[in-house]
Structures are given as C-alpha cells and as structure tokens.
Amino acid sequence: MTNVTPFPGNGAGQVGFDRLELQRIMDLYGRMVSAGHWRDYAMDMGREAAIFSAFRRSAERPEYRIEKRPALRHRQGMWALVGESGQVLKRGQELQGVLAPVERKLLRIVED
C-alpha cells in the first residue's frame, strides 16, 4: 500500500485557465444562470486549448464555447468565442472583449 501510482497525463504541456480568467468566466456564467439562459457547463483542458462550454440544457450542444489557445497569441489572439454552430463569433487578445457579445444579452431596458 505504499506504492503511489502517478495519474496518467500529469499535466505537462496542458493548457488551463488561470485564477482571474476562470473567475471572470464563472462570474459571467453565474449571471447567465440567474437570468435563465444557461443551466450547465463543461471544461476541457488539453495540450492545445482550454475550453469552457456553456449549455442551455445539458443534453444539447453548447450554446457558446470560450476557447483559450496560446499558440494563436501572436497571430489572431488566443481567446475565441465560438457559437453553437461552430462559427467563431469573436476573437481577440483580451478575454473581456471576447465575452462582450455574451454580456450584451444580459442588458435590459429599464422603464420608469
């Protein structure tokens, strides 16, 4: 019982979200859940990309995917917002700018 077996794929070369990035994404997720737009999420962290997927219902394709691909940092920008059909809706260097189209869905006109 003293043998410790390392977990396969010890994370070497794995892309992930840092604390501030994940906090920003989860803040948006929480606001979308409270507004009734999203119900579930999934995260996938691989060698080339870290992906956060947001679902309207858990049995469907994700409504949005937020992708971080550091290999594209100097070309197109490492952040991408991908729609349900797989098309890239927004790409950029800053996470805040890429999340802007989703955050616009939360804006409502308040009448007096």
Phi, psi (deg, nearest 5) at residue 40: -150, 160
Q: Please report the pLDDT score of residue 37 as a whole number.
A: 86
- The overall average pLDDT reported for the chain is 85
Q: Please report the pLDDT score of residue 35 as a whole number.
A: 86
Residue 67 in contact with residue 82, Cβ under 8 Å?
A: yes
- Average pLDDT, integer, range 1-6: 71
Pick the residue with more confidence: 106 or 12?
106
Q: Please report the pLDDT score of residue 105 as a whole number.
A: 82
Please state, in angstroms and rounded to a whole number, the distance separating the CA atoms of residues 77 and 41: 23
| Secondary structure tally for the chain: helices H, strands E | 2, 5
56-84, pLDDT tens digit by residue?
Answer: 876 778 899 999 998 888 888 899 999 88
Q: What is the pTM of this model?
A: 0.80
**pLDDT of residue 104 exceeding 60:** yes
Please state, in angstroms and rounded to a whole number, the distance separating the CA atoms of residues 40 and 52: 11
Map residue 24 onto helix, strand or coil: helix
Please state, in angstroms and rounded to a whole number, the distance separating the CA atoms of residues 35 and 74: 35
Please state, in angstroms and rounded to a whole number, the distance separating the CA atoms of residues 69 and 81: 11
Query: Is residue 24 very low, low, confident or very high in pLDDT (cuts 50, 70, 90)?
Result: very high
